[in-house]
Structure 1
């Protein structure tokens, strides 16, 4: 029984790490592999976790930001996130869903599903093309991270 709990807790940990902003699957996949998971297993868990926040960000970010702007304590944070994201969203604005896919696919700091979702929401992209582009880019990033983790940990 404790083996099942440990196994599930490791899996849940990888999913939760992947769902976190900044870290996302770039940190979750190597973390899962370092726990002894097969790279493909860690990749699938990372994809699940990093995809979880996307629909919520695409659907609810703008209304939440609108309400947060009304509170002076949060206004500067919302403005900072908006400014930072829009600065990085030049190619997303120019190439739409293709730009979003490429932006999310590059597994570097400050790219990924959180920034891509925020940019898509702020640019008023339609849900379905934005979600598909983010998911496609996330799959590419996951594949890159799985290959790098496989090479680093030698499975």
Structure 2
């Protein structure tokens, strides 16, 4: 049951691996290597869907005033980070996703890649590499410095 919780939490936007890995290691006392893998796979689950459908859903949402607050947040976040991503493309995407800070995970990285029209396969590979690096960093921090969490 705890494995499923870690998997599901890692697929949730904003929480992703930053919340799921500490949960699994520090609160459920699960094996760090196992938590690393489960969390990585969970965070990767939504990526292909975001890459394929983000632009269509975003265009649909822009038709309705009800979604304006959400659309503004999304547009601001994408504009804020897209310059670096356009300049450095793949390395920028990997680095952006790998940094384990709020709103720099696989969800946001995938949305930016889709918004910029980056290649699907390259974007999937780069977000995967960034996700592995992020999961590794968070796992090491949880094991070495558990008081941070």
Normalised by the length of structure 2, the TM-score is 0.93
Could you tell me which runs of 5 or more consecutive residues in structure 2 were left unpaired when the two chains were aligned.
none
- Distance across 2 between alignment mates of 1:153 and 1:107: 15
Across the aligned residues of Structure 1 and Structure 2, the Cα RMSD in angstroms comes to 1.4
- Distance across 2 between alignment mates of 1:83 and 1:140: 26
Instruction: Select the residue among 87, 96, 108 that pairs with 2:89.
Output: 96
1:42 is the counterpart of 2:35: yes
**Equivalent residue, structure 2, for 1:22:** 14
Could you tell me which runs of 5 or more consecutive residues in structure 1 were left unpaired when the two chains were aligned.
1-8
Alpha-carbon shift at residue 89 of structure 1 (Å): 2.4
Structure 1 stretches of 4+ moved >6 Å = none
Alpha-carbon shift at residue 79 of structure 1 (Å): 3.1
CA contact (8 A) 1:43 1:142 kept: yes
Alpha-carbon shift at residue 60 of structure 1 (Å): 0.2
- Distance across 2 between alignment mates of 1:122 and 1:43: 29
Q: Rg larger in 1 or in 2?
A: 1
1:12 is the counterpart of 2:9: no
Instruction: Select the residue among 60, 63, 76 that pairs with 1:70.
Output: 63
Alpha-carbon shift at residue 153 of structure 1 (Å): 4.6
